[in-house]
A = this chain, B = another copy of it.
Amino acid sequence: MRKTTQLRNLITSKELEVIMEAHNALSAKIVEEAGFKGIWASGLSISAAMGVRDNNEASWTQILEVLEFMSDATSIPILLDGDTGYGNFNNARRLVKKLEQRQIAGVCIEDKLFPKTNSFIRGETQPLASIDEFCGKIRAMKDTQTDDDFVVVARVEAFIAGWGLREALRRAEAYRQAGADAILIHSKRADFEEIEAFMKEWGGRHPVVIVPTKYYRTPTARFREAGISMAIWANHNLRAAIAAMQQITSRLYREETLLHAESCVAPLEEVFRLQGAEELAEAERKYLPSGLNGDRP
């Protein structure tokens, strides 16, 4: 099944589906191997891995290159956290074209201005896009896609910016009418209440996606009860990697020996396995003449 169709099925299924963050091809593969049905290509995580900020410091084509590696390494769909679409409607529709070429299944855009700032950093001071401008962007993206199942998710930042429920609903409905395949309603609160209020008013009009980074204490059962279509574990691979790398690095610096580290890290063979070394060994047997061995002394 095409990756786009897989993602569309996840979005439209009656069940709560969960996808998980990856920030490079390696973590993407790990997400797939764990059993997840989809991958969230997090803007925060990808920028953090690059050592830059989640403010469009990396160019959109640098992001695209990471995505291409991620897509090549996996067979489950990737939903890109596409910020604002990296500019206006024209940049956003160009992005759709490039994503389709790389078999990225969908993209989520948010109603902020380029360059964006992470929603959890002074969210209430952040400007929002005008509804008209953002709807034009959604329409341009939907008109551009050549694969009917490519997914465009519209992210509503009204709660982040402190504009309230009424505005959140107004925007969600406008984006739905503009053609978005799902609404991502974002919240920075530690509880689920404003989203729950939203879901009540929304009344199941269209699939809703959430990112429970801040309200992680909310039991998943409540997401199901509220009628959420998809939840995203949005940055946990990155954060697990950071903790582990800080730990091993400190330890190796302190102990000055690899002796005790070996048991805390994945075996070398696991690295080779994740890279697909075995397939290459077979291919060499198939395609490479033997005896290409350079100068023996």
Which residues on A are within 8 Å of B, measured CB to CB?
Answer: 18, 20, 24-31, 33-36, 44, 47-57, 59-62, 65, 68-70, 72-73, 87-91, 93-94, 97, 101-103, 112-115, 118, 120-122, 125-133, 136-137, 139-140, 163, 167, 170, 212-213, 216-217, 219-220, 233, 235-250, 252-253, 256-259, 261-262, 264-268, 270-272, 274-277, 280-281, 283-284, 286-289, 292-297
Contact = CB atoms under 8 A, between A and B. Distances in A.
The 10 closest A-B pairs by CB, nearest first: A25-B51, A127-B294, A51-B73, A244-B244, A239-B265, A216-B258, A136-B287, A241-B241, A132-B289, A240-B248
A114 B56 CA distance: 13
Nearest to A140: B287
9 contacts: A33-B249, A127-B295, A128-B295, A133-B288, A216-B257, A241-B241, A241-B245, A242-B266, A244-B244
A113 B294 contact: yes
A236 B256 contact: no
Nearest to A111: B294
A242 B30 contact: yes
Contacts of A61: 59, 61-62
Nearest to A74: B51
A25 B49 contact: yes
A242 B244 CA distance: 9
Most chain B CB inside 10 Å of its own CB: which residue of A30, A139, A244, A266 = A244
Contact of A245 (B27, B47, B127, B212): B27
Kindly report how many copies of this chain are found in the complex they form together: 4
Contacts of A133: 288-289, 292
A53 B258 contact: no
Most chain B CB inside 10 Å of its own CB: which residue of A26, A115, A126, A240 = A240
A282 to B, nearest CB: 11
A155 B229 CA distance: 49
A258 B212 contact: yes
A80 to B, nearest CB: 15
A132 B18 CA distance: 45
Contacts of A34: 246, 249-250, 252-253
Given A101-B102, A250-B34, A258-B212, A118 B272 contact: yes
Contacts of A281: 121-122
A249 to B, nearest CB: 4
Given A87-B114, A283-B90, A265 B236 contact: yes
